Structure 1
Amino acid sequence: MIVRAFRGLRPRRDMIEKVAAKPYDVVTTEEARKEAQKNPYTFYKVTRPEINFDVEVDTHSDEVILKGKEVLEQFQKEGVMILEDKPAIYIYREEWQGYLQTGFYATFSTKEYAEGKIKKHELTRKDKEDERARHVKLMRAHTGPVFLMYRSRPEIDNLIMKHTTKEPEYDYTDDSGIHHTLWVVKDEKEINEIVDAFKDVEAFYIADGHHRAAAAARAAEELAKENPNHTGNEEYNFFLAVLFPHTQLNILDYNRVVKDLNNNTKEEFLKKVSEKFEVEETEKFKPSRKHEFAMYLEGKWYKLTAKAGIFNENDVVSSLDVAILQENLLKPILGIENPRTDKRINFVGGIKGIDELERLVDSGEYKVAFALYPTSIEDLLKVADEGKTMPPKSTWFEPKLKSGIIVHLM
């Protein structure tokens, strides 16, 4: 597999805490605007460029996206962000609530993505792909990294880890309690060691950022067609990502809340659920193993255990808990045919805890909530290796990757 060093654009050491921001898709425009009022250097001004305008604007317009590009250029001009003097690989560590993941920023081949060597486990939406590809082309930059993983190998993991004994460039804890450390590797021999270590690796896997990867590949294809002197070595042929060993990644539960019981009374609903699941009234709890679910309904918690025979144990997708819940409860009983588009269902990342499920149901906004056991990394790898896709909202990775730590300019 191809791993490529590049000249990253990154915040000056004393500006990293001001610039780095959460991914654009986990904050609202309003949240980003509030942050920008306190902090004029937030990267939301680049990734949420509508906040640079006083009034409501079309967030998808060229004018808005180009304003983000202008802010990025201004940050560079003012020395808030600096362009590396030579190609580098950036060793990166995130530490959060006892979890530690150490990988590195580099650029990766859009050609290998198109060939299926960078494997995915989710479907992407064409409209979202179109929007992100246009963003990449207009910005002439990858402003947010894709979250990649490789099957862990001790010799490669140790090669990455040896750089963490050096003096870091960044070392700080953000307001979410995530400790970030970054080391810059510019020595050509050391870079080649890392690049060569991955030459016989067969595949990389997308953990998070499917639309970013698809958009980068789409933009590369379009830019290649527009370039009569295209060689394949241009910056647009490579996208920004952080690559981690799979053994260090942490998937949290991704839970569901539903607005109504689909015209069932509570008694009718519980009776139908008991046809496919063992139902037991219980104290509040989090599922502790596969095929076990927690359900909150009208002030009471229930433990649901999938009955034998309701799914195919030999099929990796249908034996996922998200699929079991969808095919045996959400779809047939609650009438949720397509969880991607049905407005009656919503999804709650496990980082918010099961108290949030209780709160949402008690508020009256939702009628019933379901907590799931997290999907395993091994299941994700198996789904990707078999060329299959997971049901929507199957995985919630935490900690997530921030934007603005490293930018890849094209």
Structure 2
Amino acid sequence: MATIVPFKAVRPTRDKAALVTSRSYDEYSPAELASQLDYNPFSFLHVLNPAYVNQQKLSGATRFTSVNLKYQEFKTEGILKEETAPVFLLYEIQSRNNTFTGIIAATSIADYKNNIIKKHEDTLSYRVEYFKDYLHQTGFNTEPVLITYPQNNTLQQWITERKQRRPLHLFSSLNKDKHTLWRIRDAEEIQWLQKQFDNIPALYIADGHHRSASAEMLYDQDKETGNENLNYFMSFLISEHDLKIYEYNRVIHSLHGLKKENLLEALAVDFEIENKHLELWKPEQKFEFGMYMDGEFYALRLKNRVFTSVREALDAQILYDNVLHPLLGITDLRSDVRIEYLPGSRPITMLKELVDSYEDAVGFTLFPASIEEIKALADNNLIMPPKSTYIEPKFRSGLVVYEL
């Protein structure tokens, strides 16, 4: 059974939510970031980049201390306020093409350790350590782990009915997404929600493997302090039917000494190849791959389909095993400088433009992995290849803060 608990969330005041919240810090170009920091004094980006006003570059513990001080300043000035009692929150993101609704709650480190909260991605130890230090020094987290649960009609009915009530926050962001937040503070309703998750045998991390691993490391380091908040980490829980799973497409900057004709000949061993010429073609089903090279698009369809594990049958793994590694010399999908990734949410024209910007490049498009594949990997303690999935929704920084 899965454990969720309410917590004393910190959030913007009703009148400033649209001004405070931001996209993830890493998503801003330098120009966008400068614009937000120059003209919006309420942006949570000031908390995440507190040295901007002095044009300083801080690193390590000095930066983390400054982040904490700026966060406390936002609270002192009344930009952020803390709930007087533990709550759950219901959050909806409505974009042009999708609507996502989920529950913001604290999830259990014990469940994470006991594999009730299951993982499908590997983590980099230096990133886990770095974010652990960040949490330890700043004392808060505003980026919840995205966790999915099996479709539950009872929960879905409750969410539908609960959304009819007056929201706590309702605002639009600059990308024209609509954000709505409801507060769940009634004791009976909180207990009812907890009971629903008591009946769910497993939860699955969709996005945020490094954040959850850092929370576990922080717990192991500081648990003797008696801080109860360390026993949990903030999560955004959403039904598996409501996730949007995109692929990560690949651009290889050079053909590893091959000519176009040589590569096509080598690919023909494992794939049926159809020249799509100028058609902006993407895979329409599993075991299909798109390729763009020398101004033309190709459809690649896998011929042989004999696999010994769930991981081997992943399209991202098939592409690596049959093309990227043996033909193009890509060994490390994380660190090879010759490979670049584009999330499938971006138009295929971006991949075309990127390939065309190199003299001797090739691009590959994949069919998105399914939630069934992700769960099968997690259930079998297997790990996806790096950059296999780009999953939405993405959470707004500064909307909800979990203090440690």
Unaligned residue ranges in structure 2 (runs of 5+): none
Number of the residue aligned with 1:194: 193
User: Does the residue aligned with 1:13 lie in a helix, a strand or coil?
Assistant: coil
Q: Distance in 2 between matches of 1:153 and 1:96?
A: 23
Q: Distance in 2 between matches of 1:243 and 1:87?
A: 17
- Number of aligned positions between the proteins: 401
Q: Which deviates more from structure 2 when the two are superposed, residues 47-56 or residues 352-361?
A: 47-56
Number of the residue aligned with 1:13: 14
Percent of aligned positions with the same letter in both sequences?
Answer: 32
Q: Which deviates more from structure 2 when the two are superposed, residues 152-161 or residues 200-209?
A: 152-161
Unaligned residue ranges in structure 1 (runs of 5+): none
* Cα 1:123–1:378 shift into 2, 3 Å: same
Q: Spell out the pairing of 1:7-406 with structure 2 (5 A cutoff).
A: 7-27=8-28, 31-49=32-50, 51=52, 53-58=54-59, 61-225=60-224, 227=225, 230=226, 234-282=228-276, 283-309=279-305, 311-312=306-307, 315-364=309-358, 367-406=361-400
Q: Distance in 2 between matches of 1:267 and 1:160?
A: 55
Q: 1:173 deviation in Å?
A: 2.3
User: Does the residue aligned with 2:4 lie in a helix, a strand or coil?
Assistant: coil
Q: 1:202 deviation in Å?
A: 1.0
Q: Distance in 1 between matches of 2:301 and 2:51?
A: 46
What is the one-letter code of the residue matched to 2:303? Answer: K
Q: Distance in 1 between matches of 2:360 and 2:122?
A: 27
* Cα 1:142–1:366 shift into 2, 3 Å: farther
Cα deviations across residues 43-86 of structure 1 (Å, max 9, x unaligned)?
Answer: 2223344545513333xx11111111111111111111111111
RMSD: 1.6
TM-score (normalised: structure 1): 0.94
Cα deviations across residues 322-368 of structure 1 (Å, max 9, x unaligned)?
Answer: 11111100000001011111110011011211010001011227711
* Cα 1:355–1:151 shift into 2, 3 Å: same
Q: 1:102 deviation in Å?
A: 1.3
- Asked if structure 2 preserves the Cα contact closer than 8 Å seen for 1:255 and 1:370, the reply is yes
TM-score (normalised: structure 2): 0.95
- Asked if structure 2 preserves the Cα contact closer than 8 Å seen for 1:110 and 1:237, the reply is yes
User: Structure 1 residue runs of 4+, over 6 Å off?
Assistant: none
- Asked if structure 1 preserves the Cα contact closer than 8 Å seen for 2:142 and 2:399, the reply is no
What is the one-letter code of the residue matched to 1:376? Answer: S
Q: 1:200 deviation in Å?
A: 2.1
Q: Distance in 2 between matches of 1:175 and 1:187?
A: 33
